[in-house]
Every structure is written in structure tokens, then in C-alpha cells.
Chain A
Amino acid sequence: MLKIKNLHAKVGDNEILKGLNLDVKPGEIHAIMGPNGSGKSTLASVLAGREAYEVTDGVVDLDGTDLLELEASDRAREGVFLAFQYPIEIPGVSNLNFMKAAVNAKRDHNGQPPIKAKDFLAKVKECSSLVELDGRLRDRSVNEGFSGGEKKRNEIFQMAILEPKLCILDETDSGLDIDALRVVSKGVNAMRSPDRAFIVITHYQRLLDHIIPDFVHVLSNGKIVKSGGKELALELEAKGYDWIKEEQNA
């Protein structure tokens, strides 16, 4: 589904991604771990199409489409979804209007008419119960005054509404309490399907206890330096990153 080859990206003069390779097939869950500042969020942003990041080399292919050629909104309409590490507050834009505009943008892209009010509300109900999102939060301005955990829940709520094929979760677990972590993971697991893939960025094993990855990768200094199965995450939890760095230097 997603093929990343030799991806290089920079912000200003600062090269952050330095030849990254990753291959994700439908139905798979890939976890990406790695030290602070190694480039995990940068990878997520580059995939989602944030303009501040300049891709200087490499290829990103999503089911035959050159993703790097598309604008952020077109990538989303092709099925890419990024759950932000730091969701943005947008005062004055209601969460529901926002989701309706997003759903209709995608339907328009697929040549479908705008969604019927009744169908939309049913969908909202279904998806908010999936992540146990408080009704009042749905009606408020996008993320405005939401707690850290509420913002993360709202990201997964949006993901459920939009039914993307490639879901990128950037530290969705940070800021969640233990119960919320369970609820959000349950939501993610409910969305697992043979034709949907996940890239889950996290620092902690505890998320991977709930969302069990097929692969675990270590991103360090702009590259994937080690890949393995789910047991790699346990090893990292126990030993930290130094041993990988040493392995690299050896």
C-alpha cells in the first residue's frame, strides 16, 4: 500500500529525514519508536503534506499514486489520515461542521453527492460512541478548550468518521489516562481491517499492549535503523536506545 524509498526532508537548512525506507502492506500495523527529535513527527507531517517540510529526495507511493505530488487535502481524500501529536484548536469552527465539510470533501472526490443530514448524524453517533467522546465535545469548536486527552480522543473520532485507508497515529497515547488509553485502543482495533493499514508512532510499550503491531521500527537520526517484530518494543522498553546506537557505530 505505502512504499517509502530513500526519503530525505528538511526544514529550512536542517535536514531531518536522511534516507528513510518503509514498506507497509494493507492490514498491517507498523509501530515506529525512537528517541526525541529523531524525526518521527516529521515523517508523519511529510506524509500528510505539511508545506513547511521540503522533500529533497526519495519517493512515496500510495497504491500507485505519487503522494508527494499531491496537496495535503488531496492526500486526505486519497485516504491518508494523520492523528496529530498536538491537535490544533480552531475557535469558531464547530467540530461537527468541520467533520461534515471533511466528509463531503471526500464524497465529492469520489463523485458522490453530499451526505444526508440523517446519515451524517447516525455516523457521528456511531463513531463518538466508539471512542466514548462526550456529546458536548462534538458540538464545541474544534479542540478549543479540550483537555489533552479529549483532543486525542477527538482525533480518533475524526479518523473513524473519515474511514481512511492509511492511518498515521502520532503519539496518540501521550496525554491519555489508563482508561482513555484502553478506550482509544479499542476504537483503533475496531477499525482494523484487511485493507486498512496503521503507522503507530509511540514511545511506550503500554500502547502496543493494546494495539498489537506486526512490525516495530526504530527511527533514529532520520533513518530507520532497526526493524523487528513486536518483541523489539519490549526489548527497547527494557534497554533503551543506546544499544542500537552502539550497534550502529560498530
Chain B
Amino acid sequence: MAVLTDIFKSTLLPPTRRSERWKYSPISKLLNTSLSTDSEAINSGFSKEVDPNPVQGLEAYRLVLRNGKFDASLSDLPVAQGVVCMPMSEVEDGESPEFQNTYSQKEWVGELNESYHQDGMFLKIARNIKLDRPIVIHHLTDGIDVASFPRHFVRVEEGGEVDVVIWCSSTKKSSGMYNGLLEASIAPNASFMLEKVCNEDGEIYHFSHENIIQERDSRFMMHTFTVKGHWVRNELEIVSRGKGTDSIFNGAYLPTENEHVDNHTTMDHTSSDGTSSELYRGIMYGSSTGVFNGKVFVRPDAQRTNAFQQNTNIVADRGASINTKPELEIYADDVKCAHGCTVGQFDLDALFYLKSRGIQEKAAKALLVEAFLADVISSVPSTELRKEIMKIYQERHGW
């Protein structure tokens, strides 16, 4: 049986545990599998297990991908003045986007995406255009030993505004790798909101990388929810390239059983007067394992930066664990930076207090979990999405 590196050739070598960035997220098992982008789907058509529209009640445009390939019949793309939204495969040659990120030169995962990329969303929002509804990119993995390499490009011009949801699902019998990339550049005074949800059944190695470039006075807000996933690595890299940018990025993860969740974030302040606020919260159940690594760079020119970072974890069961590490590198003197990483248990005093008023254990824990997640989830722009995520968390963990 061929190993992965024989099928997907690359100049960069796959990461090993010797690399600091991959120490707690080894992929040796994945490397011994033999995957293909042409694996046959288990279901003909979209699987019945998964609704093509993942967030019921959410009024949104939709771009549906199955195993990295665009499904026109299930998609509903916006047609509006000043908005270009189409699958990458339909972009005319002269129009094709120029990706600026260097991920493909830095990481094996990135190089694979660059070499083997499939379809994805190409989105341009013209000056001062605000799209009326969010766009949901729904990626379904459905197949055994399948590899998918979706790739998305977003450009929001000056004063423009758009909200994108990336939702990943997978059928129960599926296995393989999802390797997705999104690059967005946000022009001066423009806004980009991104909500990313991984809700995958089956045994998928899920790599997703977002690369955000922010120009002067632009706003970026992202939420990363790992709702369900066998092995998930979320990478987010934000570069602030102009004065006065604002970046908010929150995340929540509640893995259970033998799931693995890894969040790696980098916030790079290269210009002055920027603010960034990062809040990641996790509850580790069962025998799950987790990683959080948050890098914040404040470069010499980034005076008057205000950067906040917090990662809070509850280890709910004995067998679970998480490794968390903040990394701040500050080269400017007039800055405000606050950060904190904690790992703890459910607050037994709080639990007793709630129970002493007649609230039963399960309901009491639900109140505590909701309170714990509230700061992360309350800033999600759409109520429907917020509700759907809480609903799945609740169903999964039986509150």
C-alpha cells in the first residue's frame, strides 16, 4: 500500500513531532494511509445523513462542495451589484486571484493545498457594498480514504462588508483528509466576518488554514467552532498591515472520546494603533486531547497596539488533556498586551451552589457550560448560527 507522500508529492517534508508546531499533533497515522481525490463517494448525490443547508432557518447564500468539488445544483450564489461570487473553477484565466500568503512555502500541508487544490469560492465585494446575507460554504466529505483540497479567496474593497460561514460535514463512514485554505484581504475601512464550524463524523484529518491580510482601519471578526471532528487542526494567521485595524477572533472546542483538536493562531501587528482580542475556550471530555498555541507579534512600528489574548480550558474528565501556550513577541515599547492561559476543572463550589437550589447535576452543568461559552459565542452575528451550534453541543454532551 502506498503511503501518502508517494501519492501527493511535495518538496517540503511532512511535519514530525520534532517540530515545535506539530509536537502535540502528530500525523504519522495519516501518513500511512493511501488517499485519493478521486475516491468514490459513498452516496450518489448529496448524502441523506447531512442536510445541504447546515443551519436551519438561516437566510443565506450557499456554495456547496462535495469532496472538494463544486455542486452547482445545491448552491445558491449571490447575484448583486458589486458582488462577484463564483466557484474558482469558473473564474476566467485573466481574473484568477493572486494569493499573497506564503503558507505553501512554509508548511507541507500548505504545499499540498497549493499543488492539489480543487474548487472553492472566489468572492469580491466592491467598494462600499454590503452583502445583505451571509454566504455559507458547506463542504461535505463523503467517501472512504478521500482527500479534499478546497481553496477560497476573498477580497473586500474599501468600505465593503461581508459575512462568510464555512461549515464542514462528513458522513459517518467517511475517512481521509480535508485540507482547506482561505485567504482574505480586507481593504481600508472594510469588514470581514468569518464563522468556521467543523462538524464532521467519520475519521477525517481536518486541516484548515485561514490567512487574513488587514489594511488600514479594517475590521476582522472570526469564530472557530470545533463541534465535532476526529482530528482537527485550525490554523489562523492574521497580518495587520495598516494603522488602526481591529481583529477579534474567538473559538470554542468541546472534544470527547478520542478526538483531537488543535488551534494555532498568529496575530501579527506590523502597523500602529491596532487592536486585537482573542478568546478561545475549551472543555475537554472523555479521552480527548487538545492543543492551543497563540502567537502575538508586535513589530517595532506597531506602537500603541492593544492586544488581548485568553485561553481558558476545563478538563471535564480524567482521561482528557490539553497543552496550551501563549507566545508573545513584543518589539515596540508603547503597547498594551494582556494574555492568560488556564487549565482547570468544573467549579465544584458553583456546581454545589446550583444544586443546593434544586437544580439537578445535568442542568447545573449546562448552566455552567453555557456561561463559560457565552463570551465566545455571543458575538456571532447570526442568532440562527449561534442556536444551531449550541444545539449540537447540547445534543452531543447530553445536557
**Residues of A participating in the B interface, judged by any CB pair closer than 8 Å:** 48-52, 71-73, 75-77, 81-82, 84, 87-93, 97-99, 101-102, 105-106, 109, 141-142, 158, 162
Query: C-beta contact mask, B343-356 vs A, less than 8 Å → 1, else 0?
Result: 00001111011111
Contacting residues of chain B (378-392) with chain A, CB-CB under 8 angstroms: none
Kindly list chain A residues whose C-beta atoms are within 8 Å of the C-beta of B12.
Answer: none
Residues B350 and A102 in contact, CB atoms below 8 Å apart: no
Residues B356 and A72 in contact, CB atoms below 8 Å apart: yes
Cβ of A110 to closest chain B Cβ, rounded Å: 11
Residues B358 and A97 in contact, CB atoms below 8 Å apart: no
Q: Does B80 interact with chain A (Cβ within 8 Å)?
A: no
The closest CB in chain B to the CB of A103 belongs to: B358
Residues B355 and A93 in contact, CB atoms below 8 Å apart: no
The closest CB in chain B to the CB of A109 belongs to: B358
Residues A73 and B361 in contact, CB atoms below 8 Å apart: yes
Residue in contact with B371 in the complex, picked from A51, A87, A93, CB distance below 8 Å: A93
Kindly list chain A residues whose C-beta atoms are within 8 Å of the C-beta of B356.
Answer: 48-50, 72-73, 75-76, 81-82, 84
- Pairs A–B under 8 Å by Cβ, sample size 27: A49-B356, A51-B352, A71-B360, A71-B361, A72-B355, A73-B356, A73-B360, A73-B364, A81-B356, A81-B357, A82-B356, A84-B356, A88-B353, A90-B350, A92-B370, A92-B372, A92-B375, A93-B367, A93-B368, A97-B367, A98-B359, A98-B367, A102-B359, A106-B358, A141-B371, A142-B353, A162-B357
The complex places the Cα of A91 from the Cα of B276 at a distance, in Å, of: 23
The complex places the Cα of A158 from the Cα of B364 at a distance, in Å, of: 16
Cβ of B65 to closest chain A Cβ, rounded Å: 36
Kindly list chain A residues whose C-beta atoms are within 8 Å of the C-beta of B347.
Answer: 90
Kindly list chain A residues whose C-beta atoms are within 8 Å of the C-beta of B363.
Answer: 101, 105
Given contacts A101-B359, A102-B359, A158-B357, contact A50 B352 (CB under 8 A): yes
The complex places the Cα of A156 from the Cα of B353 at a distance, in Å, of: 14
Cβ of A107 to closest chain B Cβ, rounded Å: 10
The closest CB in chain A to the CB of B367 belongs to: A93
Given contacts A90-B368, A93-B367, A105-B363, contact A71 B355 (CB under 8 A): yes
- Dominant secondary structure at the B interface: helix
Q: Does B7 interact with chain A (Cβ within 8 Å)?
A: no
- Of A49, A51, A71, A90, most buried by chain B (CB within 10 Å of CB) is A90
Q: Does B374 interact with chain A (Cβ within 8 Å)?
A: yes
Residues B353 and A49 in contact, CB atoms below 8 Å apart: no
Residue in contact with A98 in the complex, picked from B349, B354, B361, B374, CB distance below 8 Å: B354
Cβ of B354 to closest chain A Cβ, rounded Å: 7
**Known pairs A81-B356, A97-B367 / 19 extra A-B pairs, C-beta < 8 Å:** A51-B352, A52-B348, A71-B355, A71-B360, A73-B355, A73-B357, A73-B358, A73-B359, A76-B358, A82-B356, A84-B353, A87-B353, A88-B349, A90-B353, A90-B354, A90-B371, A101-B354, A101-B359, A162-B358
Residues A105 and B360 in contact, CB atoms below 8 Å apart: yes
- Of B347, B364, B370, most buried by chain A (CB within 10 Å of CB) is B364
The complex places the Cα of A109 from the Cα of B359 at a distance, in Å, of: 10
The closest CB in chain B to the CB of A99 belongs to: B357
The complex places the Cα of A105 from the Cα of B354 at a distance, in Å, of: 11
Cβ of B357 to closest chain A Cβ, rounded Å: 4
The closest CB in chain A to the CB of B366 belongs to: A101
Residues B353 and A102 in contact, CB atoms below 8 Å apart: no
The complex places the Cα of A142 from the Cα of B349 at a distance, in Å, of: 13
In the A-B complex, the 7 residue pairs with the smallest Cβ-Cβ separation, listed nearest first, are A92-B371, A76-B358, A102-B357, A72-B355, A88-B353, A105-B358, A73-B355
Kindly list chain A residues whose C-beta atoms are within 8 Å of the C-beta of B370.
Answer: 92-93
Cβ of A54 to closest chain B Cβ, rounded Å: 15
- Of B355, B361, B363, most buried by chain A (CB within 10 Å of CB) is B355
The complex places the Cα of A97 from the Cα of B370 at a distance, in Å, of: 12
The complex places the Cα of A160 from the Cα of B361 at a distance, in Å, of: 23
Cβ of A36 to closest chain B Cβ, rounded Å: 21
The complex places the Cα of A158 from the Cα of B371 at a distance, in Å, of: 20
The complex places the Cα of A81 from the Cα of B358 at a distance, in Å, of: 9
The complex places the Cα of A49 from the Cα of B348 at a distance, in Å, of: 13
Query: C-beta contact mask, B324-352 vs A, less than 8 Å → 1, else 0?
Result: 00000000000000000000000111101
Kindly list chain B residues whose C-beta atoms are within 8 Å of the C-beta of A81.
Answer: 356-357
Cβ of A169 to closest chain B Cβ, rounded Å: 13
The closest CB in chain A to the CB of B373 belongs to: A92
